[in-house]
A and B are shown apart, each in its own frame.
Chain A
Amino acid sequence: MASIVQVSNLDKYFGRLHVLKQVSVEVTSREVVCIIGRSGSGKSTLLRCINFLEEPSFGTIEVDGLKVDASEKGKERRQLIHDIRLKTGMVFQEFNLFPHMSVLENVIEGPVTVKGMDRAKAIKLAEENLDSVGLLFKKDEYPNRLSGGQKQRVAIARALTMEPRVMLFDEPTSALDPELIGEVLNVMKKVAKDGMTMLVVTHEMGFAREVADRVLVMADGEIIEDSKPDQLFSKPKDPRTKALIDRYRTGGN
């Protein structure tokens, strides 16, 4: 299988803090990879380095054949990063819908402004995606009229409408009321079933177990375990993984 995302020897410092230590990850096409770990373990930072929301300090990122090294500079690199962002869709913990735009405008903003897509075509595509997250009937509402779960589903539709090669989810359900988590996870399962390559930073162990092809466990800026979910949840190799899983099990997750 072709690799879509390849992270090699990635280091990231925040000031003097070493948050990613020589991290390497490969994700192949149509794979769903969940990243779990305690807060502060570097999992969100790793995800945010892939589309350069964070500048990696050292190492290389490759997305669908576009390769950028942390040491490079200049115009060509900026163009490559831009192209990588077009190939990656991102869903944030805090949704980050644009409050001054209606749901439909939120979803067509990327294709129209960034890709220069014809408006009518963008609307058609947006409506298909809104329909698939079950929110076509809300297309003329403004984000402040939506529940958290609905906002996150719109955010997923917005990212999908850019037709990315890989979707990055940064704790997509962590800001939601418990009763709204299910609807978002269901949409994510559907996206996975449609064959999207996904990298999901999450605390939802149930989702990881059920949907992921692989689960990465991070601790102290390193990937300490990379296994199939069955194996990881039944026979964790690292004691830190076991502690993490136990914590969520007793926590009711």
Chain B
Amino acid sequence: MHPDTTASLPNSATSQAELLYQAQQRKDRQFRINVSLSWIILLLFLLFLFSGQNFSLGPFTFSTIKIDRLFITDNLVFIAGGLGETIRISLVSITFATVLALLAALGRLSPAPPIYALSTFYVSLMRGTPLLLQIFFFFLALPQLGIILPGFWAGVFALSLNYGAYMSEIFRAGLSSVGKGQREAAIALGMTPGQTMRRIVLPQALRFAIPPTGNEFIAMTKDSALVAVTGFVHELMWRATKVGRAQFHNLEALVMAAIFYWIMTLILTALQSRIETRLARGDR
């Protein structure tokens, strides 16, 4: 694979291995180039669909979707202003969700029946009901009990509890990826169960859990759009629907919001794959 490994081989073998290696490299590079080109073509096609042009083919005339450019330039700043709130909700929620997920996963390992039950009960309840319902519950149902949460916190609690339940599976898989031998080695050294967990099991489990947690974070930035239903959190989706409805330009508004979400996702995905390669390079 690596060119250096061929250096010690005899001359004829070196050149042959080198040729094969180079051919493989060319093939890989060509594949990547072709994929990128295809992406650009698809993107251009999408742009064309929204170009608002008329053209005729023989007796038929076609027109693509017309976008009101003025609306876009007028409302760009307003809609982009929701980015900060979207990111804020997602960051706060993923933090809480991670803590909840870890606790739920540890609860799953507990020999105490009430703790085990609490963990499975929580996961079942949160995964068994819609996220949208949970958001409404925190925002609209709790006030009936005298608990009034601002829209932001209703959204954060719902997202955290919901994602925490899903992510507990990730941490559970992470914890069980650490072999029994690791615990036994720690115990044989005289470590307490707490020390074993903190020093030996968790560091390995968390490393395992980082990439899928990244996926959940990306998913959450998009699900944060649901918080718009409270009407009090001025994130991307809320802003897009507000101006879209008011001026009957929902098409433009939603396309703008979609582009923002997409770009955010692309950036986060790129970040995540960097983290993943760094972890893969580590000491496993």
Contact = CB atoms under 8 A, between A and B. Distances in A.
Interface in A179-214: none
Contacts, number: 62
B184 A100 contact: no
A100 B283 CA distance: 6
A90 B188 CA distance: 6
B95 interface: no
A53 B190 contact: no
A53 B188 contact: yes
Nearest to B192: A82
Given A92-B181, A109-B199, A85 B284 contact: no
Contacts of B190: 82, 85-86, 110, 114-115, 162
Interface in B166-209: 179, 181-182, 184-192, 195, 199-200, 203-204, 207
A113 B199 contact: yes
B235 to A, nearest CB: 38
B220 to A, nearest CB: 27
B195 A53 contact: no
A90 B185 CA distance: 8
B203 A100 contact: yes
Contacts of B199: 109, 113
B182 A98 contact: yes
Given A88-B188, A98-B182, A113 B284 contact: no
Contacts of A92: 181, 184-185, 188
A85 B184 CA distance: 11
B2 to A, nearest CB: 16
A90 B190 CA distance: 11
B191 A99 contact: no
A53 B187 contact: yes
Contacts of B189: 85, 109-110, 113-114, 158, 162
A174 B184 CA distance: 18
A85 B200 contact: no
A132 interface: no
Given A92-B181, A100-B207, A114-B195, A85 B188 contact: yes
Given A94-B181, A109-B199, A113-B199, A99 B188 contact: no
> A interface, how many residues as a size bin?
20 to 34
Contact of A113 (B182, B195, B203): B195
B200 A98 contact: yes
Nearest to B187: A53
Contact of B181 (A51, A96, A113, A115): A96
A143 B179 CA distance: 15
Interface string B97-119: 00000000000000000000000
A152 to B, nearest CB: 12
A3 interface: no
Contacts of A86: 190
Contacts of B284: 99, 144
A233 interface: no
A89 B179 CA distance: 20
A109 B182 CA distance: 13
A96 B204 contact: no
Contacts of B184: 53, 92, 96
A42 to B, nearest CB: 18
A205 B283 CA distance: 36
Contacts of A89: 188
Contacts of A96: 179, 181-182, 184-185
B259 to A, nearest CB: 41
A58 interface: no
Interface in A76-101: 82, 85-86, 88-90, 92, 94, 96-100
Contacts of A85: 187-190
14 contacts: A51-B188, A53-B187, A53-B188, A82-B192, A85-B188, A85-B190, A90-B188, A98-B182, A98-B185, A98-B186, A110-B191, A114-B191, A144-B283, A145-B283
Interface of A: 51, 53, 82, 85-86, 88-90, 92, 94, 96-100, 102, 109-110, 113-115, 142-145, 158-159, 162
